Chains A and B, each alone.
Chain A
Amino acid sequence: MAHHDHTLDSHDAHAHGEGMGVKRIWQVFGILLAITAVEFLVALGFVHHWNIVEKGAALYAFYIVLTLIKAYYIVAFFMHLKFEKKSFIISCSVVFIFIIYFIVLMLIEGGYLLDHFQQHPVYPNK
C-alpha cells in the first residue's frame, strides 16, 4: 500500500513539474510585479503627484480589474489550480457566485442606508 502511494505521488509530482518550472515561476512573478508597478504608477503618479486622473468609479474599476488579474495568476499558477482536473477547478470556483451576489446585495443595502437612515453628524471640510 505504502509503495502504491509512493508511485502515485511521484507521478503526481511529475505532472506538476511539467506545469510549473523555475522559468515559469519567474515569469508569473514578473507579471505580478508589472501589474503592481502599474497600480503604483497610476496611484502615486497620475493621481497623487501629477493630478492627471481624478479619483472615481472608472479609476476604481481599473484597480479592481488589475486586482482580479493578479488574483488569477496567483491562484492559477502559484496555487497550481490551472493544472488540476477541470471538475476540481469548478468545485473550488463556482461557489464564488454567492460572493458576487453578496457584493451586489450589500452594496445596494449600503446605498439604501445612506439615503434613508443617515443620522450621524457630518462636518464640512473647510
Chain B
Amino acid sequence: MDSLSKLDEVKTTRWAGGREPWSIEYGKIMMWFFLVSDAFTFSSFLIYYGAQKFAQPTWIDADKIFQSIPGIADHGQPLVFVGIMTFILIMSSVTMVLAVEAGHRNAKKEVVKWMVWTILGGIAFVGCQALEWTHLHHLGFWFGQNPATGLTDPAAISAALQPYFTNDISYTAALQFSNLFFTITGFHGFHVTVGIILNIIILCMVLNNTFEKRGSYLMIEKVGLYWHFVDLVWVFVFTFFYLI
C-alpha cells in the first residue's frame, strides 16, 4: 500500500515534470533552438571559406579589394566603410536591447522609440551592403565571376587580377573568394532583411496595443534574440572576410 501511494505522489523537483525546468516561455526556447541551428548554417559557410583558403596556394588581399568609401573615396581606404557598417549594426543591437528593457517596464512609448531606431539601423546596414555589392559588381566580381572571367591569355588574366593580390595570383582563388563573399554576405543580408520585416511587424503590434492587452512584451524579446544573432554573425563575417 505504502509503495503504491508513493507512485501517485506528485514530485516537486525541477526535472520531475509538473513545472518548467527552464522557466522560459515555449516560443523563446524555440527561437533559441532555431538560432542554434542557424548558427550551424553560418558556421558551415564560414568553415568552407576557411577550408578554401587553406586549399588554395594564394588568396585575395582583403585590404586591396575592400578599400572604397562610396561617394567619398574610390580606393586607398581599407576597412573604413565596413567599420561604419559594423558600428551601425552594433548600435542597432543596442537600441534593440533598450527596446526589450523598456518592454520589461511596459513602457510602450519607449519601446516604439527604440524599435524605430532599430529598424532604421537595419535599413542603413542593408543600404550600405547594397553599395558594397554594387561596387564589387562594377569591379567584375559576382556569383561565378571575377574580373578575369572570359579571358584566356595567362598574361591578361594575371593583369586583370593583379590589383587584388599581394602574393601570387590565381584565377580559381579569386573565383572562390567572389562566390563565397556574395553567398555569405548575401545570406547574412537576407537575415537582416527578414529581421527588419519582423521588427516592423512587431512595431505595428506594439502600436496596435497587442502586447499591452496581452500584459507582456515578451515578443520583443524573441525578435530581439533574432536581431542580436544577426549582429553576432556579422562579428564573425567581419573578422573572416575583412580582417583576416
Contacts and interface: CB of A to CB of B under 8 A. Distances in A.
B30 to A, nearest CB: 12
B220 to A, nearest CB: 11
Given A22-B98, A32-B90, A39-B239, 13 more contacts: A12-B24, A29-B90, A29-B94, A44-B78, A71-B232, A78-B231, A88-B22, A92-B36, A102-B43, A102-B47, A110-B53, A121-B171, A123-B161
Secondary structure of the B contact surface, majority rule: helix
Given A29-B94, A102-B47, A13 B104 contact: yes
B71 interface: no
- Residue from A14, A64, A78 with most neighbouring chain B CB atoms (10 Å): A78
B105 A17 contact: yes
A125 B162 contact: yes
A43 B79 contact: yes
Interface string B152-193: 001001100110011111111000000000000000000000
Given A32-B90, A70-B235, A110-B53, A21 B168 contact: no
Interface string A59-74: 0100110110011001
A53 interface: no
Contacts of A87: 21-22
Contact of A74 (B32, B80, B221, B235): B235
Contact of B22 (A66, A80, A84): A84
Q: What 6 A-B pairs are tightest by C-beta distance, nearest first?
A: A110-B54, A110-B51, A9-B216, A123-B158, A120-B172, A113-B55
Contacts of A85: 21-24
Secondary structure of the A contact surface, majority rule: helix
A67 B169 contact: no
Interface residues of A, number: 59
A17 B90 contact: no
Given A103-B50, A114-B56, A121-B171, A67 B235 contact: yes
Nearest to A107: B54
A9 B154 contact: no
A78 B228 contact: yes
A6 B216 contact: yes
B55 A122 contact: no
B165 A125 contact: yes
A102 to B, nearest CB: 6
A83 B243 CA distance: 32
A107 B43 contact: no
22 contacts: A9-B218, A12-B23, A13-B216, A16-B104, A20-B97, A32-B90, A33-B90, A43-B243, A71-B236, A74-B231, A74-B235, A75-B228, A79-B225, A80-B221, A110-B53, A111-B54, A113-B55, A114-B55, A120-B172, A121-B171, A123-B158, A125-B169
